[in-house]
């Protein structure tokens, strides 16, 4: 079983509340979402593993069980072309749970007219393979978000 922890501090809101139909409809996969605190911060790896996809606005870590977890920093933030995001690791790097991956500022994302809400998605999973899903309440970076059977 894989335990997925929060890559950010903020408030858990669940995928249904994400202002993007691809995420809110769980088309990418099941999971939850975090409305992050509005201050410069580092998004950290939600599991230990290998960075298999890395963009300024999103990254995927695959753990030893082959589970891929997507962290998407904001909605439509690909349109910012990396502005306001700083990559702290490289694609192919092995990272520890809690290791900083991207430095960013959610307030600047909002100032640019984008949503700062961050989906945390279990890729290629089914909703019934997740347990203990956190969809409301305050979370700190490193708090448990869900477990993946």
Instruction: Return the pLDDT at 45.
Output: 98
Domains of the chain from N-terminus onward: 2-139 (2.70.70.10)
pLDDT tens figures, 1-16:
899 999 999 999 999 9
Residues identified as active-site:
72
Q: How far apart are the C-alpha atoms of 3 and 16, rounded to whole Å?
A: 21
pLDDT tens figures, 55-82:
999 999 999 999 999 999 999 999 999 9
124 burial via Cβ count (<10 Å: 0-12, 13-18, 19+): exposed
pLDDT tens figures, 99-133:
999 999 999 999 999 999 999 999 999 999 999 99
């Amino acid at each position: 079983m894989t335990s997925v922890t929060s890559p950010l501090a903020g408030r858990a809101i669940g995928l249904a509340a994400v202002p993007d139909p691809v995420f809110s409809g769980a088309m990418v996969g099941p999971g939850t979402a975090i409305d992050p605190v509005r201050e410069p911060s580092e998004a950290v790896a939600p599991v230990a593993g290998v960075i298999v996809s890395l963009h300024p606005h999103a990254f995927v870590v695959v753990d030893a069980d082959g589970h891929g977890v997507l962290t998407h920093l904001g909605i439509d933030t690909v349109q910012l072309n990396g502005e306001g995001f700083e990559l702290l690791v490289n694609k192919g790097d092995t990272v520890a749970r809690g290791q900083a991956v991207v430095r960013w500022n959610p307030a600047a994302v909002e100032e640019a007219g984008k949503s700062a809400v961050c989906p945390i998605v279990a890729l290629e999973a089914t909703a019934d393979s997740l347990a203990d899903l956190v969809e409301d309440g305050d979370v700190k970076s490193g708090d448990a978000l869900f477990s993946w059977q």
